[in-house]
Amino acid sequence: MKKVVKFGGSSLANAEQFKKVGEIIRSEESRRYVVPSAPGKRFNGDTKVTDMLYACYEAAEAGEEFSGKLQAIKERFEEIIKGLSLDLSLEREFEQIAADFSAHAGKEYAASRGEFLNGKVMAAYLGYEFVDAAEVIRFDKNGVLEAEKTNRLLEKRLAKCEKAVIPGFYGAKVDGTIKTFSRGGSDITGALVARAVGADVYENWTDVSGFLMADPRIVKDPKPISTVSYKELRELSYMGASVLHEDAIYPARIANIPINIRNTNEPENPGTMITSEPAKLEEGQIIAGIAGSKDFTVITMYKALLSSERGFIRKMSGVLEDFDIPIEHIPSGVDTLSVVISNKQLGGKLEDILDEFERQLKPDHMEVSDDIALIATVGAGMSLRTGVSAKLFTALAEKKVNIRMIDQGSSEMNIIVGVENKDFEKAIRAIYGAF
Ligand code: ASP
């Protein structure tokens, strides 16, 4: 049995949390490869080490005095080292970092040092070998992960270690320049390591006991999801359920390694298992979960005989491509076509886009709603059942939620409804209640 275990920032925020992590790792011989994040928040209002590093580097780059900021970061690590009674000094590492900051080594290099240093601490604490991610996680010259190259490097390097700590979040280009993933990217490192060593399980330890069927800020005490498939999870996280970095799914999925989301503060809880199989639903359960996000714009175009026109969608998507805007959904009717765009992506270009639609598509009429929330009800079991959508729409009607748009994902494991932003929470509660 071989496990890769990744611990998030809140699991490693201080010595006390480190001790819980130590206990978890030592309780199973199979937990051989450990991927740490940088120390996160110790309490509400605290600052993550990664954010401290960004701020410190910003000062360095602006030519300001940054030694005080760097000292505060050093103290976070010293507090952990002292609390764990380790015989470890990071003096040399901090000297190097100070010199590199002065030489403007780059923002991504700066951010990566949180994981780098925490990896050193973790390796000393566990007595595991430290493997620098810069040696084994490879990005191309444009900063895109080279997945196959990385897999080969990791596989070769880790074949030589029985047990190792590989810091999360970063890697390097072939010339040695440090490159980070996007925020929360240690999840990706964990998945890459799991694939390379052929792990039986990739355990992702965080501060929640896995996924819940709905956002607990909206629904009171939602049920936990015990198993969910990679595909269902992809739909849920695309729509805003965030526990795991989206890009962490792919490496685990191609190697068919289950991902187990676990809680460092509640290690006896089995958490959520993410596997290639669709969720094993409990008696009477039809859906895996509900997720959604606010702030989308829906542009609906009406045109007589649209259904027999050629090239309409191509022209429409061409306009959006020219404006560099991704399309979220394209629900269509006989003589109508809507396009859903996220407001964040739209960024003030709406008027110009409408002008261009007018010019190139010549619709009879256009309507725009710019305060739409999308809610996805996800579950692989849905396509095999009858009456699922009836139940969903009835629940919304009973709560007097006006449905502005419906889109059943082509995967048939997903029904997306668009409602007004103001009805978002009410709609989620209604759907949760119905299922
Ligand atoms: N420390 C990085 C962040 O705060 C990466 C991670 O925690 O996964 O985003």
Q: Is the CB–ligand 1 distance for residue 185 below 6 Å?
A: yes
Tell me what the pLDDT averaged over the chain comes to.
Answer: 93
Tens-place pLDDT, residues 385-403: 778 888 999 999 999 999 9
Query: Which tens digits make up the pLDDT trace of 310-355?
Result: 999 999 999 999 999 999 989 888 899 999 999 999 988 999 999 9
Nearest residue by C-alpha to atom 5 in ligand 1:
184
Which segments of 218-367 does DSSP mark as H helices, in order?
230-238, 249-254, 312-322, 343-346, 350-361
Q: Quick one: average pLDDT of 203-219?
A: 91
How confident is the model over 128-144, as pLDDT tens digits? 999 999 999 999 999 99
pLDDT at 164 over 70: yes
Residue pair 77/14 in contact (Cβ under 8 Å)? The answer is no
Q: What is the pLDDT of residue 233?
A: 85
Q: Residue 128: name the closest of 264, 21, 203 by CA.
A: 21
Mean pLDDT of 12-38: 98
**Strand order across the beta sheet in which 138-139 lies:** 138-139, 170-173, 178-180
Give the chain's length: 435
What percent of the chain has pLDDT above 70? 96
Phi, psi dihedrals of residue 209, rounded to the nearest 5°:
-90, 55
**Mean pLDDT in residue range 252-263:** 95
Cβ contact 151:255 at 8 Å: no
pLDDT of residue 281: 64
Please choose from 48, 113, 181, 207 the residue to mutate so as to test ligand 1's pocket, defined by most ligand atoms within 8 A of CB. 48
Q: How far is the CA of 209 from the centre of ligand 1 (A)?
A: 19
20: alpha, beta or left? (left if phi > 0; alpha if psi -120 to 50): alpha
Give the model confidence (pLDDT) of 264-322 as tens digits: 999 999 999 999 877 666 666 778 889 999 999 999 999 999 888 899 999 999 999 99
The pLDDT-based confidence of 408 (bands split at 50, 70, 90) is confident
pLDDT tens profile 221-248: 998 888 889 888 888 876 666 788 989 9
**Which region among 85-99, 145-159, 234-248 has the lowest average model confidence (pLDDT)?**
234-248
Q: What is the pLDDT at residue 32?
A: 98
Q: Which residues of 307-318 are buried (b: 16+ CB within 10 A; e: fewer)?
A: eeeeebeeebee
Percentage of the chain modeled with pLDDT above 90: 79
Does residue 114's CB lie within 6 angstroms of at least one atom of ligand 1?
A: yes
Smallest CA separation from ligand 1 atom 6, residue = 184
The closest-lying atom of ligand 1 relative to the alpha carbon of residue 189 is 8
Any atom of ligand 1 within 6 Å of the Cβ of 292: no
Ligand 1 midpoint to CA 26 (Å) = 24
**Which residues lie across from 344 on neighbouring strands?**
none
409 pLDDT exceeds 80? no
Region 364-377: mean pLDDT is 94
What pLDDT, on a 0 to 100 scale, did the predictor assign at position 150? 98
Residue 382: per-residue pLDDT = 78
Among 115, 118, 182, residue to substitute to test ligand 1 (most atoms within 8 Å of Cβ):
115
Q: Which range among 187-201, 235-249, 360-374, 416-430 shows the weakest confidence by mean pLDDT?
A: 235-249
CA of 124 to the centre of ligand 1 (A): 21
The model carries a pTM of 0.84
Kindly list the strands in the beta sheet with 3-7, ordered across the sheet, starting from the edge strand earlier in the chain. Answer: 129-130, 164-165, 31-36, 3-7, 201-206, 259-263, 272-275, 227-229
Report the candidate in 49, 162, 175 with the shortest Cα–Cα distance to residue 111.
49
